[in-house]
Amino acid sequence: MTKHLRSISELNAEGLRSLLDLTDHMAEINRRPIPKVPALRGKTVVSLFYEDSTRTRLSFETAAKRLSADTMTFSVSTSSANKGESLRDTVETIEAMGIDAVIVRHKSAGVPWRLSDWLDASVINAGDGWHEHPTQAILDAYTIRNEAKKPFEELHVAIVGDVKHSRVARSNVAAFTMLGARVTLVAPPTLLPPSLVGWPVQVSHNLDDVVGTVDVAYCLRMQLERQEQSLVPSLREYTQLYGLTSHRADRLAEGAIIMHPGPMNRGVEIDPEVADRPNSVIAAQVTNGVSVRMAVLYWLLGSGTTLGGSDV
């Protein structure tokens, strides 16, 4: 069993499937009148967010509390990091208080790896730069498993948008293909990674060609500053070519679902009306986030010997 969750590549297909099964148990807890169990009583979990986040931070903290872990929140604006303290000094100071896991988000890729070099605690990556966001990918896989009408091995997933700068896309490609899905990246060449050597994906520059063939249309958030960097001529043109417009959403196959990691730019990568359609599972993604993060925390910090055992 691994100690950290820094990357989807730290899991194998069997481990990922058992994590999804464990998430089912956690979802059951979350449906109880009092959604709280003592599984991680006495464990201390720190969330270390060097970058703004609403849903991921709250989702992790809710997950930790429902498992009865003690939580500490480090927010950069009120910390010594503002006084020039180094990352290493900050995390070693926090660890000296006695902690079991660090949930870290940072704008620089690779920070979770450096932390795990310095700390004994488990390190959970809550997003590192453009690199990975593994719990997002697990909750997306869980959502697909619940909502799609076919098993993973028969699914075609289109990930549409700014793959180049997306940690969600990197983790999702790894997780979805590990579970057997076929993945197509749909983006202009300027928003794809410079090299796709070793990526088990297909690529398309034409969403209209792809949209009728997919079981999952996964829209990525389009950062507004990309047009200033001339990666696209304008957001308007981006929407015309790569937005999930009403017209394109109408062409989705029967049973196909619409996903987005949030926060959405309604009217840019997704039409406002499309996001609220019955086949949109965007709200379910958020709900499942808590259950998935409970599963991850329990898996890394719990006894772990019997997944979904008597204390859960």
Kindly state whether residue 93 participates in binding another protein, applying the rule CB under 8 A: no
The one among 58, 81, 109, 284 contacting another protein by CB under 8 A: 109
Among the residue ranges 31-39, 129-137, 234-242, 278-286, the one whose residues contact another protein (CB under 8 A): 129-137
The one among 2, 86, 190, 246 contacting another protein by CB under 8 A: 86
Kindly state whether residue 198 participates in binding another protein, applying the rule CB under 8 A: yes
- Do the bridges between strand 257-259 and strand 182-186 make them parallel or antiparallel, or are there none, so unpaired? unpaired
Q: What minimum distance in Å lies between the beta carbon of 163 and another protein?
A: 10
From the CA atom positions of the chain, what is the Rg in Å? 19
Distance in angstroms (rounded) separating the CA atoms of residues 149 and 145:
8
Residue 298: name the closest of 31, 32, 45, 33 by CA.
45
What are the phi and psi torsion angles at 161 (to 5°)? Answer: 125, -145
Kindly state whether residue 87 participates in binding another protein, applying the rule CB under 8 A: yes
What the block records as the tokens of 245 is 């417009």
Tell me whether residue 109 or residue 307 sits nearer to another protein (CB atom). 109
Tell me whether residue 50 or residue 142 sits nearer to another protein (CB atom). 50
Kindly state whether residue 188 participates in binding another protein, applying the rule CB under 8 A: no
Residue 244: name the closest of 263, 262, 260 by CA.
260
Residue 109: name the closest of 67, 51, 151 by CA.
51
Kindly state whether residue 203 participates in binding another protein, applying the rule CB under 8 A: no
Q: What minimum distance in Å lies between the beta carbon of 37 and another protein?
A: 35
Build a one-symbol-per-residue string for 45-84: x at contacts with another protein by CB under 8 A, - elsewhere: ----------------------------------------
Q: Hey, how many other C-beta atoms are within 10 angstroms of the C-beta on 71?
A: 16
Kindly state whether residue 170 participates in binding another protein, applying the rule CB under 8 A: yes
Query: Which of helix, strand or coil describes residue 127?
Result: strand
Kindly state whether residue 197 participates in binding another protein, applying the rule CB under 8 A: yes
The one among 15, 129, 267, 308 contacting another protein by CB under 8 A: 129
Structural contact between residues 63 and 47, judged by C-beta atoms closer than 8 angstroms: no
Sheet arrangement for strand 70-75: 70-75, 44-49, 101-106, 122-128
* Residue numbers at the binding site for another protein (CB under 8 A): 86-88, 106, 108-111, 113-114, 128-132, 167, 170, 193-199
